[in-house]
Structure 1
C-alpha cells in the first residue's frame, strides 16, 4: 500500500520541517569485505545517541554497490532495528537509485521496513529530458514520500534547472530536498523552484553542500517574496563523522536563525569546510571520500578498518595526515571523548 507523508507517525513531519541532523550512514565491513552487523548497528546507535534526528541509509556514503552484493535490504533492516530502540522514533530515509523499475522496487523495500521517505538519486537519468525525469519522480512518489537530491555533476549528478525543481516540489508527496550541487547558483535554482511551486511550507530544505554547511544554515534566502526561505537541516556524508559536535553546531545555527549571527559562529563555516576537504579528499577529486569517513570512525574505534566494497577505494596519499591536522586544529568540531565514553555500549 502506498505511503503518504500524511500517514506518518505523529511528530515525524514536524521534526523534518523544523530541521535536524541526518547523517548519511556508512557501511561497516570486515577485512574480507563482508558486512559486520555488530558495528553497522553500533554506527546507527552512535548517530542517534549523538542527537541525530534521522538516518539516511543506502545512499552514496553507504556505497551504492551494496545492491550488487545483496546488502541493500540487510543494511536498511539493521538501521531500522537500531531506530526501534529509541524512545522517540527517528526519521528514516532510504536511498533509491536507478531507472523507475529499480527505484520503485527499492522504495517498496524501504516502506516495508518502516522507512518514512526515500532520497531519490537521479544520476541514472543523465541525458534525459525534464519531462521524463519528472514522470519518474512522480512514479516513485506514488509509492512513498520523496526527498529530492541535487547531486553535484562532478560526481555523477544531473544539472537540473529551476523549472525542474518547481515541478518536482509541486508533487504532493515530496517532503524535502537535499541540496548538494556544491554550487551557489544551482543551490538558488532549487530554492527558486520551491518558492515558485508555493511548496515552502511542505518541502523542508536540507543542505548537502558539504563545502558550505554553516553558511547554508545561517542564510535567510530572500528571493523577492518578502518571506525568506531557510535551509533547516542537513543530510550529509560529512555528518557521518564527529556527529555529536555536528548536532551542537546545528543547534547553534538554528538558534540564531532570526537574530544577529555571532562572528565566531560564522567563522566556523570555513573551519567545517576545511575539515570536509580532508574527509572528502577534495585535493584528489573526491577519490577518498568514503575511505575518509571510514578513517575517522576507525580512529575512534567504531569501525575495525576502512575497507570499501571496491578494493580500489582507499585513502589518497597525504589524506591521513590532513585528517590528523584538521582534527588537531579544530578540536571543538570533533567528538572523540563522546565516542570513547559510549563505544562499549554501542558495540554490545
Structure 2
C-alpha cells in the first residue's frame, strides 16, 4: 500500500471504541466484532487507542494499550487476508516524548502504518517544543497530526505552528478537529502555503462533517489560485453507523466533483450534526461522548454494555432519549439492518 496515496484518495477512517463486559473487563470477543463490523462496512482505515478507545487503557491498573492494539491489528490481518484491500491501521499516540516514542515503537511492532499524535500533554509548553516532539515520533512511524478541540483537552495553536508542522516530511496527514472554523481555516491555509500537495487533510470536526467534506478551500498563493479540500474523515462519530457513513461518503465524493452543490446537502449536513449532538452529548459539554458511542453499539447487539473504564463516565440525563430521537428522525443515516444481518458472524 502506498500510504500517502491511500490517504490522499479520501477514506472513511472511524475511531475504534472499546468493548467492556458486565464486569467492566475487556471483552476480546466483542472487540473483535467491532473490528469486523468496521471492516465489513468498507472503511479505508481504523484508528485504535484514540479518544473513543478510552485513554485510560494506558493506565497501569488496566494495562490495555498493548492488548487492544494487538487484537485490532491481528483481527484486521485475518479479515483482510480473506478479502484483500488496502486499509490503513492508525494508532493513537499520547504523552510527552518518552511515552509517545515508546507507543510509536509498540504500534510499529504490531504493523500499524501511522500514528495519530495527540498533543494534549503539552499544556503550556512553547510550540517549538511540540514541533521537536513530532519530529521525534516521525523518525519511528509516519505521523497524522491532530488539532484537538480545547473542550476535551486540546489547545489553540497558531497559524505559524501549522506552517512549521507542514514542513515535517514524515507528516502524511492532519486530522483537523478544533470544532472551530477559524482554526480549521488556519490549518488548511498553512498546508497550502507550505505547498504540501502530498499531505492529506482529514476532518475530525464531528459537528460539521458533511460541510467540511464538501467545502473547497480557495486561497491566493504566489500569484495563483489554489484550492484544497478536506479529503476524508477520521472521526469518532463514524465509530457507529459506520456502514451508513461509508455510503454517505461515497455520495459526497461524487457530489464534490460537480460544479455546484445541491441545496439538499445543507439539510443533510444539519441532520448529521443533530445526530452528533446526541451521540457526543454536546448539551453537557461532551461528558457522555464515549458512553453515547457505546450505547448505540449496545443497542445494536455488537457489545454487551456502554460501560467505560472510568465508572464516572456515563450517559447524561436525557441522552438516551436523544439517541432514540435522532435514530427515528434520520433512518437513512443508521445501519441497524446491516448490523442485524451480520452480527452473529462478527461475534463468532
TM class by shorter chain equals over 0.9
The answer for unaligned runs of 5 or more in structure 1 is 1-9
Superposed CA deviations along residues 32-57 of structure 1, whole A, max 9, x for unmatched, are: 22110011011011011101101000
Shift of 1:130: 1.2
Is the Cα contact below 8 Å between 1:12 and 1:90 reproduced in 2?
no
Q: Does 1:253 align with 2:249?
A: no
Match of 2:33 in 1: 42
TM-score by length of 1: 0.96
SS state at 2:101 partner: helix
Shift of 1:134: 0.5
Q: In terms of mean alpha carbon deviation, does 329-338 or 160-169 score higher?
A: 160-169
Match of 1:107 in 2: 104
Q: How many residues in Structure 1 have an aligned counterpart in Structure 2?
A: 338
Is the Cα contact below 8 Å between 2:192 and 2:226 reproduced in 1?
no
Q: Does 1:272 align with 2:268?
A: no
SS state at 1:42 partner: helix
Match of 1:342 in 2: 342
Match of 1:78 in 2: 71
CA distance, structure 1, for counterparts of residue 76 and residue 168 of structure 2: 28
Shift of 1:15: 1.9
Moved over 3 A (4+): none
CA distance, structure 2, for counterparts of residue 277 and residue 189 of structure 1: 25
CA distance, structure 2, for counterparts of residue 208 and residue 177 of structure 1: 9
Tell me which of 129, 136, 139 is aligned to 1:139.
Answer: 136
Q: In terms of mean alpha carbon deviation, does 254-263 or 205-214 score higher?
A: 254-263
Is the Cα contact below 8 Å between 1:83 and 1:89 reproduced in 2?
no
SS state at 1:313 partner: coil
CA distance, structure 1, for counterparts of residue 63 and residue 163 of structure 2: 36
Is the Cα contact below 8 Å between 1:298 and 1:306 reproduced in 2?
yes
CA distance, structure 1, for counterparts of residue 74 and residue 227 of structure 2: 38
Tell me which of 7, 18, 28 is aligned to 2:19.
Answer: 28
Shift of 1:119: 0.3
Q: Does 1:213 align with 2:209?
A: yes
Tell me which of 166, 170, 182 is aligned to 2:167.
Answer: 170
CA distance, structure 2, for counterparts of residue 313 and residue 158 of structure 1: 22
Shift of 1:169: 1.2
RMSD: 0.9
Match of 1:7 in 2: none
TM-score by length of 2: 0.96
Q: In terms of mean alpha carbon deviation, does 184-193 or 255-264 score higher?
A: 255-264
**Equivalent residues in 2 for 1:319-334 (5 A)?**
319-334=319-334
Match of 1:316 in 2: 316
Q: Does 1:232 align with 2:223?
A: no
CA distance, structure 2, for counterparts of residue 11 and residue 105 of structure 1: 25
Is the Cα contact below 8 Å between 1:207 and 1:235 reproduced in 2?
yes
